[in-house]
Amino acid sequence: MADTATELETLLSGLNDPQREAVTYGEGPLLILAGAGSGKTRVLTHRIAYLVATDAAKPNEILAITFTNKAAGEMRDRAELLVGRRVRAMWVMTFHAACARMLRAHADKLGYTRRFTIYDQADARRLIKRCLDELGIDPKRFTPASIHNQISDAKNKLRDADAYAQMVGSFFEQTVADVYRAYERELHRMNAMDFDDLLVRAVNVLELFQEVRDQYAGTFRHVLVDEYQDTNHAQYRWLQLLAEERRNLMVVGDDAQSIYGFRGADIRNILEFEDTFPDAHVVKLEQNYRSTQTILDAANAVIRNNRGQKPKSLWTELGQGDPIKIRELEDEHAEARFVTGEVQRLLDEGVSRAEVAVFYRTNAQSRVLQDTLVRGDIPYQVIGGTKFYERAEIKDAIAYLITLVNPQDAGAFTRIVNAPRRGIGSTSMSRVLAFSNTTGTSIWDAASEPEQVPGLGGPAVKAFKRFMATMHVLRERATSNPPIAELLKEVLQETGYLEALEAERTIEAQGRLENLEELVNVAAEYDAAAETDPAREPSLAEFLEQIALISDADDRSDDEGLVTLMTLHNAKGLEYPIVFMIGCEEGVFPHSRALDEGGLEEERRLCYVGITRAQRDLYLTYARTRNVFGARSFGAPSRFIGEIPDGLTDREQQQPRGLAGVRARATSWVSAGSSGGSVPAWDADAPTPAAAAFRMGEDVTHPKFGEGVVTGLEPGGIVVIHFSRDGSERKMVADLAPISKR
Q: Which residues bind DNA (CB under 7 A)?
A: 67-69, 94-97, 120-121, 129, 139-140, 143, 145, 195, 259-260, 262-263, 361-364, 384-385, 392, 418, 421-428, 457, 459-460, 549, 551-554, 567, 569-570, 591, 593-594, 597, 599, 629-630, 703
The residue among 426 and 557 lying less far from DNA, judged by its C-beta, is 426
CB contact at 8 A, 295 and 644: no
Task: Say which of 7, 21, 24, 41 is annotated catalytic.
Answer: 41
Number of alpha helices (DSSP H) and beta strands (DSSP E) in the chain: 32, 23
50 versus 260: smaller Cβ distance to DNA: 260
Residue 644: closest CA among 338, 302, 196: 302
- Report the 10 Å Cβ neighbour count for 9: 9
The separation between CA 85 and the C-alpha centre of its own chain, rounded to angstroms, equals 31
Q: How far is the CB of 137 from DNA (least distance, A)?
A: 12
Point out the catalytic residue in the list 125, 512, 613, 626: 613
Query: Which of these is catalytic: 197, 227, 254, 603?
Result: 227
When the beta carbons of 67 and 238 are compared against DNA, the nearer one is 67
Q: Specify the DSSP class assigned to residue 60.
A: G
- In the set 186, 194, 226, 335, the catalytic residue is 226
Phi, psi at 141, each rounded to 5°: -70, -45
Is the Cβ of residue 374 or residue 696 nearer to DNA in the bound state? 374
**Sequence-ordered list of residues with C-beta below 8 angstroms from that of 623, at least 6 positions apart, any chain:** 328, 329, 330, 331, 332, 334, 335, 583, 585, 635
- State the minimum distance, in angstroms, from the CB of residue 155 to DNA: 11
**Nearest-approach distance from CB 85 to DNA, in angstroms:** 25
Task: Tell me the C-alpha distance between 247 and 243, whole Å.
Answer: 5
**DSSP state letter for 722:** E
* Options 19, 20, 40, 159, the catalytic residue: 40
For 166-175, the CB contacts below 8 A with 24+ separation are 170/725, 170/726, 172/142, 172/725, 172/726, 175/137, 175/142, 175/147
Q: How far is the CB of 477 from DNA (least distance, A)?
A: 26
- Give 311 or 454: the residue with its C-beta nearer to DNA: 454
Q: At what angle do helices 195-208 and 144-156 cross, to 10 degrees?
A: 30
Q: How far apart are CA 47 and CA 357, in angstroms?
A: 31
Residue at 34: amino acid letter = A
H or E element that contains 528: helix 507-532
Instruction: List Cβ neighbours of 320 (8 Å cut-off, separation of 6 or more).
Output: 292, 293, 294
**Within 10 A of 264 (CB to CB), how many other CB atoms are there?**
21
Q: Which CB, 100 or 242, lies closer to DNA?
A: 100
Partners of residue 740 on adjacent β-strands? 701
603 labelled catalytic = no
Q: Which residues contact 134 (CB under 8 A, 6 or more apart)?
A: 182
Q: What is the 3-state secondary structure (H, E, C) of 249-310?
A: EEEEECHHHCCCHHHCCCCHHHHCHHHHCCCCEEEEECEECCCCHHHHHHHHHHHCCCCCCC
CB of 322 to DNA, least distance (A): 29
Q: Which is nearer to DNA, 50 or 622 (CB)?
A: 622
C-beta of 263 vs 657, nearer to DNA: 263
- Which residues are CB-neighbours of 698 under 8 A, at least 6 positions away? 709, 710, 741
Crossing angle of helices 484-494/392-405, nearest 10°? 110
CA distances to 67, 194, 509, 635, 723 from 591, rounded to whole Å, are 24, 28, 36, 11, 21
Beta bridge partners of 193: 118
283 phi/psi in degrees, rounded to 5: -125, 130
Whole-angstrom distance, CA of residue 502 vs CA of residue 75 = 43
Neighbour count for residue 726 (Cβ, 10 Å): 14
Whether 40 is catalytic: yes
CA 526 – CA 529 distance, rounded (Å): 5
Active site residue 226: yes
Q: Indicate the residue among 178 and 603 with the shorter CB distance to DNA.
A: 603
- CB of residue 89 vs DNA: minimum separation in angstroms? 22
For the chain, what is the radius of gyration of the CA atoms? 28
Active site residue 613: yes
The smaller minimum CB distance to DNA, of residues 688 and 740, is found at 740
Q: Smallest distance, Å, CB 549 to DNA? A: 6
Pick between residue 316 and residue 570 the one whose CB is nearest to DNA: 570
| In the complex, minimum distance from the CB of residue 102 to DNA, in angstroms, rounded to a whole number | 15
Nearer to DNA, 85 or 140 (CB): 140
CB-CB contact of 326 with 650 (8 Å)? yes
Q: Which is nearer to DNA, 327 or 431 (CB)?
A: 431
Report how far residue 627's alpha carbon sits from residue 625's, in angstroms, rounded to the nearest whole number.
7
How far is CA 143 from each of CA 80, 137, 196, rounded to the nearest angstrom?
Answer: 47, 10, 19
* Other beta carbons within 10 Å of 490: 15
Q: Tell me how far, at minimum, the Cβ of 471 lies from DNA, in Å.
A: 17
Least CB distance to DNA at residue 72 (A): 9
From the CB of 567, what's the least distance to DNA, in Å?
4
Shortest distance, CB of residue 156 to DNA, whole angstroms? 9
Do 268 and 17 form a contact (C-beta atoms < 8 A)?
no
Among residues 174, 167, 166, the alpha carbon closest in space to that of 141 is found at 174
Q: Closest approach of Cβ 703 to DNA, in Å?
A: 6
Residues recognised as catalytic: 40-41, 226-227, 257, 613
